[in-house]
Amino acid sequence: MPPRGAPRPARPAVQRTPDRSPDARAGDRPGPGAARRTPRESADAGLSVADLRLQRRPTDATAIAPARAAADSSRAARRGRSACDRGNPDPRDSQTVLLMSHYTPRNFTLPADYCFRGDPRDPAESAADPYIFSREAVIAVDVALATGRPLLVAGPPGCGKSRLAETMAAVLRWNFVYQTITSRTRLEQLTVEVDHLRRLNDAHLAARSTSPHALADRDEEYYHPGIFWWAFDAHSARRRGLPESVARPRSEPRFPGVERKPPDEAREGTVLLLDEIDKAEPDLPNDLLEPLDRGSFGLPDGRTLRAQDGAQRLTVITTNRERELPPAFVRRCVTLLLAEPAREALVAIAAVRAPQAEKTLVEKVADRIEALRQELDESGRRPPGTSEFLDAVNTCQQLRIAVDSPDWEETWQQIELVTLRKPMVTEDERSRPA
């Protein structure tokens, strides 16, 4: 032992090898005052666990630089992905393969490829355009049927929200009623309203001594049933609410949609579509809580009309998300977000919607859609949807514009401009000479 006050001898330098045992990895952890990242937060930030460990070694500058460069590259790749791809898991992940396994709906029947090509028993429906369901849509519809809740479908224009409701009516062989919502839509239009104009006209005709026309004895004769009345009780809607003991109304209202005869030994059902609910006045969604939640609404004479016992109903409500909906309204719905289809999905849709189109042409247009989504999204403009993609494919097919033709690039630029980009005409552009 050296004498007191003498300097201690320097310890020899020890060359330590990297140890990745649990004890050694614990030494890499930050102290109590340092902020910690969970693995999910690290992935969202574009950093892997290895990147974080390298960043915790400030003395090794050569290790920090590659880690930060990799992190910046990862962030840039995330920013460059389309809105559809950001929400999709990596199909190469084993957990993703498990989650994306085939789902068989319990309350309706679809082919294994989720493509409904129409009912061969109905020539009108078999000639309609096929519809490809996404796995998320199949599960959401199945949940809505199981719970009896409305299905609120959100997504960009042209992604197939309205066609989802129409196709489900064909799949289930149910009646289909619909109403497109505008800023002037009122609750009475959807439930029941009194035709005051027809009543006034009858009163004028009845006042003439030479006219055989008489004013109706009962107020129900002037009831005009809305789509909720038809969905709750179609038989009562045809009679305008008149009791069975009274003769049929002088004029029977027309069914506001597609009426189907149910299969043998099957109960009658109805698919009700409220299209573009975000266009309505702010009070309308709250006014719809009673018919949506309780299956009833009030009549002008004070009575309450309720849905028939055992009546089957699927209510589909669509929104383009241009206006936020009340929380109480959303809480009563099963929600589904139809995202923009990825490139592979677009090619699959074109295979059934435009089977005559060449595969090289479809893939070329799908590639342009992917590039335009990123470009227009960064500029704050709406990217093209599925309907615009099919318009571009069908245009090239009908005009016989081949990918390998000499004028492809020049002609395609004009087709892309009018079918996909669709630039808004401003005042400056209107004033320019043609």
CATH number for the domain harbouring residue 275: 3.40.50.300
Confidence of residue 76 (pLDDT cuts 50, 70, 90): very low
User: How far is it, in rounded angstroms, from Cα 326 to Cα 217?
Assistant: 42
∠206-211-217 over CA atoms, to 5°? Answer: 35
> What pLDDT, on the 0 to 100 scale, is given for residue 266?
75
Q: Which helix (H) or strand (E) holds 97?
A: helix 94-99
CA 315 to chain centre: 14
> What pLDDT, on the 0 to 100 scale, is given for residue 430?
45
Confidence of residue 375 (pLDDT cuts 50, 70, 90): confident
Question: Are residues 160 and 306 both part of a single domain?
Answer: yes
> What pLDDT, on the 0 to 100 scale, is given for residue 377?
77
> What pLDDT, on the 0 to 100 scale, is given for residue 219?
85
Question: Are residues 223 and 242 both part of a single domain?
Answer: yes
- 3-class DSSP assignment, residue 115: strand
Question: Quick one: DSSP state of residue 338?
Answer: -
User: How far is it, in rounded angstroms, from Cα 63 to Cα 57?
Assistant: 8
Query: Is 229 a residue whose pLDDT tops 90?
Result: yes
User: How far is it, in rounded angstroms, from Cα 137 to Cα 150?
Assistant: 14
User: How far is it, in rounded angstroms, from Cα 312 to Cα 148?
Assistant: 9
Q: 165 in a domain, yes or no?
A: yes
182 or 89, higher pLDDT = 182
Lowest-pLDDT range of 141-155, 249-263, 386-400: 249-263
Question: Are residues 151 and 243 both part of a single domain?
Answer: yes
Question: Are residues 294 and 173 both part of a single domain?
Answer: yes
Lowest-pLDDT range of 52-61, 150-159, 212-221, 233-242: 52-61
Range of the domain at 363: 343-431
Asked which of 337, 362, 377 is the last residue of a domain, the reply is: 337
Nearest to 333 by CA among 280, 292, 279, 295: 292
> What pLDDT, on the 0 to 100 scale, is given for residue 9?
55
> What pLDDT, on the 0 to 100 scale, is given for residue 64?
39
- The set of residues, in sequence order, having a beta carbon less than 8 Å from that of 403 and lying 6+ positions away, is 358, 360, 361, 364
Question: Are residues 162 and 274 both part of a single domain?
Answer: yes
Q: 24 in a domain, yes or no?
A: no
Question: For the residues 70-79, what does the mean pLDDT come to?
Answer: 42
Q: 18 in a domain, yes or no?
A: no
132 within 8 A of 295, measured Cβ to Cβ: no
Domain count across the chain:
3
- The set of residues, in sequence order, having a beta carbon less than 8 Å from that of 75 and lying 6+ positions away, is 45, 46
Question: Are residues 214 and 332 both part of a single domain?
Answer: yes
Nearest to 240 by CA among 227, 257, 253: 253
Q: 403 in a domain, yes or no?
A: yes
User: How far is it, in rounded angstroms, from Cα 376 to Cα 432?
Assistant: 24
Asked which of 304, 337, 370 is the last residue of a domain, the reply is: 337
Q: 170 in a domain, yes or no?
A: yes
pLDDT tens-place string over residues 114-146: 999 887 766 556 556 889 999 999 999 999 999
User: How far is it, in rounded angstroms, from Cα 30 to Cα 53?
Assistant: 10
Strand partners, 296: 306
Bridge-based pairing of strands 304-306 and 296-298 is antiparallel
User: How far is it, in rounded angstroms, from Cα 272 to Cα 317?
Assistant: 8
pLDDT tens-place string over residues 170-183: 999 999 999 999 99
Question: For the residues 20-43, what does the mean pLDDT come to?
Answer: 44
Q: 330 in a domain, yes or no?
A: yes
User: What amino acid occupies position 38?
Assistant: T
Question: Are residues 169 and 218 both part of a single domain?
Answer: yes
86 within 8 A of 381, measured Cβ to Cβ: no
Question: Are residues 66 and 120 both part of a single domain?
Answer: no
Percent of the chain with pLDDT over 90: 47
Most confident region among 7-16, 81-90, 97-106, 245-254 by mean pLDDT: 245-254
Query: Is 12 a residue whose pLDDT tops 70?
Result: no
Percent of the chain with pLDDT over 70: 70
- The chain-wide mean pLDDT, for the chain, equals 78
Query: Is 236 a residue whose pLDDT tops 70?
Result: yes
Asked which of 306, 337, 368 is the last residue of a domain, the reply is: 337
Confidence of residue 422 (pLDDT cuts 50, 70, 90): confident
pLDDT tens-place string over residues 310-341: 889 999 999 999 999 999 999 999 999 998 88
Query: Is 88 a residue whose pLDDT tops 70?
Result: no
Q: 85 in a domain, yes or no?
A: no
User: What amino acid occupies position 104?
Assistant: T
> What pLDDT, on the 0 to 100 scale, is given for residue 306?
94
Question: Are residues 313 and 349 both part of a single domain?
Answer: no
Q: 301 in a domain, yes or no?
A: yes
233 or 426, higher pLDDT = 233
> What pLDDT, on the 0 to 100 scale, is given for residue 213?
60
Q: What is the DSSP string of 168-228?
A: HHHHHT-EEEEEE--TT--HHHHSEEE-HHHHHHHHHHHHSTT------SSGGGGEEE-HH
48 or 2, higher pLDDT = 2
Question: Are residues 347 and 312 both part of a single domain?
Answer: no
Query: Is 93 a residue whose pLDDT tops 80?
Result: no
Confidence of residue 92 (pLDDT cuts 50, 70, 90): very low
Question: Are residues 255 and 387 both part of a single domain?
Answer: no
> What pLDDT, on the 0 to 100 scale, is given for residue 46?
42
> What pLDDT, on the 0 to 100 scale, is given for residue 2?
54
Using a cut of 0.85, tell me whether the model's pTM lies above it. no
Query: Is 296 a residue whose pLDDT tops 70?
Result: yes
Question: Are residues 185 and 60 both part of a single domain?
Answer: no
